[in-house]
Amino acid sequence: MKKNYIIANWKMNLDMMSLKIFFNHFKFDEIDTNKKKIIFSPSFVFIQKTIELIGSNDAQVAGQNLFWEPKGAFTGEISAKQLTDMGCEYVIVGHSERREIFKETDEMINIKIKVALQHKLKPILCLGENYEEKEQGLTKKIIERKLSICLNEIPAGEMRHVIIAYEPVWAICTNIHNTGQSDTPESAQVVHKFIRKNIAGLYNLVVAEKIPVIYGGSVNPDNVNGFSKMDDINGVLVGGASKEASSFQKLISNYFI
């Protein structure tokens, strides 16, 4: 059975004390790692501490972003090699908050994916439509364009290292248009299937079938099971519901019921 990815994106949350409290209460021995791959994405300053607290347990760590240059006068940025040196196996690229607040473009994200792959980092590519685009019926057109640009010149052989995260911007808790509801599993499934169709067009059916496509946007312990039942959804990217051990533990348990 293909593993399902459950990724905790802590964004700029959790200080040292709350990080220790989280792992003091988190029960790794209750997770069926044959079916689920757990990834934590802490702030850069807590990557090494998170790895230390994970210890010998079966979980990985992702950076929340990276810069494409290997080194230089880029105050506040972090390179792919610095992430791998700290022990990261994954990196999130193209998150909607990076796109909206920091004005990252699909072309910039394409460069970041290439650099990540060059340094053996597995990129988690986030993409999705905003509220206005959804209301105008442009979801599929937006997805198609973003996939084409973000994956430009990425070889088919490297796609086995890529995860795609569909995150409808309007469904993210912190978005001003958010109604407090995630996308429905059925609606998300339609987009995920469309993503696979586009991957097949850009590459081939084998790549499309094997690439993990996960959902992100107001995922919580109460709605996560619905997403797990969809044929083309291979996991979830979790924000707010991952900040406390009890909530994230329940979400992981509820993914397969």
Catalytic residues: 95, 167
Round to whole Å and give the CA distance between 93 and 77: 14
Contact 178, 153 (CB under 8 A): no
Residue 248: both structure tokens together: 């994230």
Question: Crossing angle, helix 139-150 and helix 106-118, to 10 degrees?
Answer: 40
**Residue in 215, 150, 156 with CA at minimum distance from that of residue 188:** 215
Residue 3: both structure tokens together: 């593993």
Q: What number of residues does the chain have?
A: 257
3-state secondary structure 66-120: CECCCCCCCCCCCEHHHHHHHCCCEEEECCHHHHHHCCCCHHHHHHHHHHHHHCC
What is the greatest pairwise CA distance in the chain? 50
Round to whole Å and give the CA distance between 81 and 63: 11
Round to whole Å and give the CA distance between 172 and 221: 15
Residue 203: both structure tokens together: 């590459």
Round to whole Å and give the CA distance between 219 and 208: 24
